[in-house]
Amino acid sequence: MSISQIARSIKPSPTLALNEKAAILREKGDPVIHLGGGEPKSKAPMDAIIAAASNLNTGEIRYAPADGIPALKQAIIRYTEEHYKRKVAPENVMASGGAKQAIMVALQTILNPQEEVIFPAPYWVSYPDMVKLCGAIPVPAHPEDGSFYPRIQDIEMRVGSYTKAVIINSPNNPSGVMYSEEFIADVVDFCEKKELYLIMDDIYHRLLFDGKKPINVYDYAKDKTENSKLIVINGVSKMYAMTGFRIGWAVANKKIIASMTNIQGHQTSGPSVLLQKAAVGALNGIQSCVENLRVTLENNRNVLIARLKSFEGVKVYPPDGTFYTFADFSAYERDSTKLSNLLIDKVQVLTVPGIEFGLEGFLRLSFCGGIKDITEGIERIKWVLDLNSPNELYIGDRKLVRDWA
């Protein structure tokens, strides 16, 4: 059977595959601990539920404008004013099926085949494949100093005549680090000077710890006109614990949004109106849920990091935000896929191999679950890796016996 070159070049999403694996193991009755997840466990805000339920009750769920219902656009405009101090028009906004679709459609709007997109490594798993879906070429930028904090030189040295765009995600999935203001300022300035598109993936922008405040990319943009090539991505998935609702958005110049809307109109006709209503409820409703989630995550982070630090062989980089940490396990095993599989096979703890984010030897551990999962998950990992641990481990009434060296 013949499938396209592009389809052949695309890998399955490793994080979605992991969710499926967790579900299958759970169904079998295995005592799985999912430290690979990418969604908060709290419930969606009540305002979102009420808004969607009352729409559903009308029984009239119809087609909607491809770029989003006016009420959602208004809510996004208000959000942009409140959190970015930026006034935008409805024509500057497109709602989408999650931040993922907003990024994908933005890439389809700006890229020609063979053009290049640069993003710092470690990077979100989907960026390379999204770029490839456009027939374009992903160019990961590994910080030269080996840290998780890129400098503008790391971007600069990869720019060539085919470079079309830069994607920045801060705080970052998987490392959890927030890039410095200096770097954001430099990258905005650099993209403006080189006339490159800058896609700012802000999906975690308010999930920050230790009193850190979100960085507003517009503060550094000199071009405030409709020629600006800045595309800001956001959504309700992470901050409002609404991953399954699939609502995200893009804010950009009117021409880009008009083209994005054309593309999205042919792809999906835009996101479901029912779920857009839910997002309106969340964005216009009581906002304490975001801060409550942030506080819970900060506490979870503290517990996870303290436990991880007790491993002799793990290098820990405490995250500034998100709900992930990216820890260096290479002292135990350099092949992160092998290590991740070992942890599933031996103690049913799911983690994401670092190689999926562009760095071998690391594992991404999530702290978006409960404290019990975090502490027990780490205890099980330690049992597998630490050769000084006892020969046996009990998970409930299951006895596990070490059968590896």
Ligand X SMILES: Cc1ncc(COP(=O)(O)O)c(C=O)c1O
| Interface contacts to ligand X, rule CB under 6 A | 38, 98-100, 124, 169, 173, 201, 203, 235, 237, 243, 248
The residue (of 208 and 342) whose beta carbon lies closer to ligand X is: 208
Question: Rounded to the nearest whole angstrom, what is the least distance from the CB of residue 309 to ligand X in the complex?
Answer: 25
Question: Rounded to the nearest whole angstrom, what is the least distance from the CB of residue 124 to ligand X in the complex?
Answer: 4
Question: Rounded to the nearest whole angstrom, what is the least distance from the CB of residue 173 to ligand X in the complex?
Answer: 4
- Tell me which residue of 180, 185, 181 sits closest to 198, measured CA to CA: 185
Angle between helix axes 336-347 and 371-385 (nearest 10 degrees) is: 110
Q: Backbone dihedral region of 114: left (phi > 0), alpha (psi from -120 to 50 degrees) or beta?
A: left
The residue (of 248 and 384) whose beta carbon lies closer to ligand X is: 248
The residue (of 235 and 270) whose beta carbon lies closer to ligand X is: 235
CA-CA-CA-CA torsion sign (176, 233, 208, 276): negative
The residue (of 99 and 304) whose beta carbon lies closer to ligand X is: 99
Angle (CA) 314 317 321, round 5°: 140
Q: The tokens 């975690």 sit on which residue?
A: 204
The first and second tokens of residue 177, run together, are 């680090």
- 362 Cβ neighbours under 8 A, 6+ residues apart: 122, 174, 326, 327, 328, 329, 330, 336, 353, 354
Question: Rounded to the nearest whole angstrom, what is the least distance from the CB of residue 51 to ligand X in the complex?
Answer: 18
The residue (of 173 and 325) whose beta carbon lies closer to ligand X is: 173
CA distance 158 to 139: 8
Question: Rounded to the nearest whole angstrom, what is the least distance from the CB of residue 2 to ligand X in the complex?
Answer: 30
Question: Rounded to the nearest whole angstrom, what is the least distance from the CB of residue 357 to ligand X in the complex?
Answer: 10
CA distance 378 to 376: 5
CB-CB contact of 382 with 311 (8 Å): yes
The residue (of 39 and 189) whose beta carbon lies closer to ligand X is: 39
Question: Rounded to the nearest whole angstrom, what is the least distance from the CB of residue 199 to ligand X in the complex?
Answer: 10
Burial (Cβ within 10 Å: 0-12, 13-18, ≥19) of residue 212: exposed
Question: Rounded to the nearest whole angstrom, what is the least distance from the CB of residue 98 to ligand X in the complex?
Answer: 3
CA distance 187 to 390: 50
The residue (of 249 and 383) whose beta carbon lies closer to ligand X is: 249
The residue (of 235 and 285) whose beta carbon lies closer to ligand X is: 235
Query: Where do runs of H (alpha helix) occur along 13-111?
Result: 14-27, 46-57, 70-84, 98-110
**Residue number, nearest CB to ligand X:** 98
CB-CB contact of 80 with 88 (8 Å): yes
CB-CB contact of 34 with 369 (8 Å): yes
Question: Rounded to the nearest whole angstrom, what is the least distance from the CB of residue 356 to ligand X in the complex?
Answer: 12
The residue (of 196 and 203) whose beta carbon lies closer to ligand X is: 203
